[in-house]
Chain A
Amino acid sequence: MTVEGTAARSKTRRSGGTAKRASAAKKKTAAPAKAEPQLVQLLTPEGERVEHPDYAIDLTPEELRGLYRDMVLTRRFDAEATALQRQGELGLWASLLGQEAAQIGSARALHDDDYVFPTYREHGVAWCRGVPPENLLGMFRGVNNGGWDPNSNNFHLYTIVIGSQALHATGYAMGVAKDGADSAVIAYFGDGASSQGDVAEAFTFSAVYNAPVVFFCQNNQWAISEPTERQSRVPIYQRAAGFGFPGVRVDGNDVLACLAVTKAAVERARSGEGPMLVEAFTYRMGAHTTSDDPTKYRRDEEREAWEAKDPILRLRTYLEKEKLADAKFLESIDEESDTMAKRVREAVRAMPDPDPMAMFEHTYADGHALVDEEREQFAQYLASFADENESAAAGEGN
């Protein structure tokens, strides 16, 4: 397997926005390396199937339709969650709009016994792992700080502190290697996260211990208001080289390429060849979260340019052109999406607020005297209102 981009240079610019930022950048410092390496691509934005010498993939029509279904349902779920946030059912939502191919492609490359360490936007990965979508919403609704058992689907809890999970994944992978198991571990994070010390330390540990871990960076071009150039002077995938393992950049809006490259990376890990960094070059179509206002820092034209590379549209074009999907199939997926969205909506609305005493649960596995004391005091405090209510009610009766 060759490592992309070490030699290849292309003159294409990423987007209109890049040029403007580059010219606004400081004159004092040298311009960052602008060489645009070739992306691994198997499906063009126009829906043309192309080959790549290192990443061949052969999928059945069934599998191709499955990828389409995954992406459509994930997008529908995401749209529903955004709507639920707008209606006050969720406190916050981090949309994955535009990143469906990166997530579905990479996640469908995994085996059941592989382990996933996500950040907070991996709703499509969660879907592929079989985590019920509504489970993802508890923490965004504010009824819990996690919401699922990580071991039931080998899908760890969402991590909000940027980059922390890269180390957890590495340690888990070190454990897998010690156990002699032949599964792999994958850590998801963003381009911004690649600046964190924890991520650099994860690279160091994984390389030194040859841990079976794949670092999957979704470069969606922005870390809230900061463009990728604020995080790195070289393309992110090239950073791996300095740590002693390969890095590759894949078209993050091409589900086939994401699947093929991730498959190669996890197989490599499984066979004892150590870590690999995959940079999925993609785009965050919406705001960072529902609290963010992207009009403060980015231009509409940029989004429009990326809309032309929409991951779902391109697979659909391909499926239709190759007669792998007919109108009936496409319709059935839309119907399934609506049903799923409705079910999720009802499930979220039915989620009760937790009992106040739940605050004291699970602080320790072994129990703790101070927690017991405070729980008791708080219970008495709450009960004192109950007494008042009772006497008020009794008073009314007189």
Chain B
Amino acid sequence: MATTKMPIAKALNTSLRKAMEDDPKVLIMGEDVGKLGGVFRITDGLQKDFGEDRVIDTPLAESGIVGTAIGLALRGYRPVVEIQFDGFVFPAYDQIVTQLAKMHARALGKVKLPVVVRIPYAGGIGAVEHHSESPEALFAHVAGLKCVSPSNASDAYWMMQQAIESDDPVIFFEPKRRYWDKGDVDTEAIPGPLHAARVAQQGTDLTLAAYGPMVKTCLEAAQAAAEEGKSLEVVDMRSMSPVDFDTIQQSVEKTGRLVVVHEAPVFLGTGSEVAARITERCFYHLEAPVLRVGGFHAPYPPARLEDEYLPNLDRVLDAVDRALAY
């Protein structure tokens, strides 16, 4: 075992380094990823060690970043591109949705698009607008893209390498407010599959399903509920496309209740899909309707209101109480 405690940011950095060592075709591209090491320092030191040919500071143009990454992938490279913040992916949205997602199918499977688009996403860091959004449903809705989000250091380390190894485009959502959370990383472990959900905490009364930044919030909610004598199970979904419905189903068959939690607006969010599928699959096991906790149908608010906007312990427990009251 080679287990080290490190923050998520460091786990991502170590993982990128490993991927670049293992495969000379892996490239890193993005704004400020070189000398600065990215605004969150996820690519810190990589340009120094792998050179400007492999860690490429790009012009300030997201459509250009993703569009050229597609070309590089067609030429046999495996680009990992960084979008500086969630709100700045949209200039590249056209390239991602109309090109990156569909090219494999259009070429009858003859070309592969192993591009990873890294997006530091979601809120909780007191930023100005466009720096706190959760656009994952907009990508998960598009066939041809895989969407994942780690919630802890070990997953950050392993899922990044699995995303890079994938021959499909992966939108890799990094929970920016958890970058500094530490966890154990066993660099010699055999990781589970990229898209498998994980039961992060066993329980019997109700299932909380979440991914990325909300997993920690749900674990805290489970702990608070335990003090009141309620046993909550927490499923870390890890992937929003595909979703591992089997793992959630198993959990719900045991607990009979489900609350899905994410930061993104509830309306037409990932949670809507989970609620609908689990209702189909578990109708006779459910003791209560599937509830969702998330953002509102309103623009992400200014920083001084984000604590009100973001699901917190109280809002999760409020939904838990409502589900248990049926």
Contacts and interface: CB of A to CB of B under 8 A. Distances in A.
Contact of A91 (B34, B35, B37, B128): B128
A293 B60 CA distance: 19
Interface string B287-317: 0000000001111011111001100001100
Given A161-B88, A296-B36, A378-B296, A225 B304 contact: no
Contact of A142 (B57, B63, B303, B314): B303
A198 B94 CA distance: 13
A225 B31 CA distance: 8
Interface in B87-110: 87-88, 90-91
B129 A145 contact: yes
A356 B296 contact: no
Contacts of B301: 145, 354, 358-359
Contacts of B127: 91-92
B31 A226 contact: yes
A82 B135 CA distance: 32
A319 interface: no
B51 to A, nearest CB: 10
B36 A195 contact: no
Q: How large is the interface on B (under 10, 10 to 19, 20 to 34, 35 or more residues)?
A: 35 or more
Contacts of A197: 61, 63-64, 91
A140 B34 CA distance: 27
Contacts of A313: none
Interface string B13-34: 0000000000000000001101
Interface residues of A, number: 47
B320 to A, nearest CB: 13
Given A91-B126, A140-B128, A381 B298 contact: no
Given A224-B31, A381-B315, A354 B305 contact: yes
A230 B127 CA distance: 27
A208 interface: no
Interface string A304-344: 00000000000000000000000000000000000000000
Contacts of B304: 141-143, 353-354
Interface string B125-144: 01111110000000000000
A144 B296 contact: no
Given A161-B87, A196-B91, A370 B297 contact: yes
B124 to A, nearest CB: 12
Interface centre among B58, B61, B308 (most CB of A within 10 A): B61
Greatest chain B CB density within 10 A among A140, A224, A293, A385 is at A224
Contact of A196 (B32, B60, B267, B297): B60
B62 to A, nearest CB: 8
Nearest to A223: B60
Nearest to B303: A142
Contacts of B39: 224, 291-292
Interface SS majority for chain B: loop
Nearest to B94: A197
Nearest to A359: B301
A363 B302 contact: no
A359 B60 contact: no
B318 interface: yes
Contacts of B59: 192, 195, 226, 230-232
B117 to A, nearest CB: 17
A57 interface: no
Nearest to A193: B60
Contacts of A195: 59-61, 64
The residue among B60, B61, B87, B303 with the most chain A CB atoms within 10 A of its own CB is B60
Interface string B227-259: 000000000000000000000000000000000
A231 B60 contact: yes
B186 interface: no
A79 interface: no
B302 A145 contact: yes
A144 B64 contact: no
A21 to B, nearest CB: 10
B52 interface: yes
Interface string B32-70: 101111010000000000001100011111011000000
A197 B90 CA distance: 12
A197 B93 CA distance: 13
B97 to A, nearest CB: 15
Nearest to B60: A192
A196 B61 contact: yes
Contacts of B267: 370
B302 A139 contact: yes
Contacts of A224: 31-32, 36, 39
Contact of B130 (A144, A160, A296): A160
A389 to B, nearest CB: 13
Nearest to A164: B91
B57 A230 contact: yes
A232 B64 CA distance: 14
Given A142-B128, A160-B129, A360-B296, A225 B35 contact: yes
Contacts of B63: 197
B190 to A, nearest CB: 37
Contacts of B58: 230
A91 B303 contact: yes
Contacts of B57: 225-226, 230
Interface string A361-372: 001000010110
A162 interface: yes
B52 A26 contact: yes
A363 B32 contact: no
Contact of B298 (A92, A296, A360, A384): A360
Contacts of A139: 128-129, 302
B60 A226 contact: yes
14 contacts: A26-B53, A145-B301, A145-B302, A161-B130, A162-B60, A193-B60, A197-B63, A223-B31, A225-B36, A296-B37, A360-B298, A363-B299, A368-B297, A370-B297
Interface of B: 31-32, 34-37, 39, 52-53, 57-61, 63-64, 87-88, 90-91, 126-131, 267, 296-299, 301-305, 308-309, 314-315, 318
Given A225-B57, A226-B32, 5 more contacts: A26-B53, A195-B64, A197-B91, A371-B298, A374-B298
Interface of A: 26, 91-92, 138-145, 160-162, 192-193, 195-198, 223-226, 230-232, 291-293, 296-297, 353-354, 356, 358-360, 363, 368, 370-371, 374, 378, 381, 384-385
Closest 3 CB pairs of A and B: A142-B303, A225-B36, A195-B59
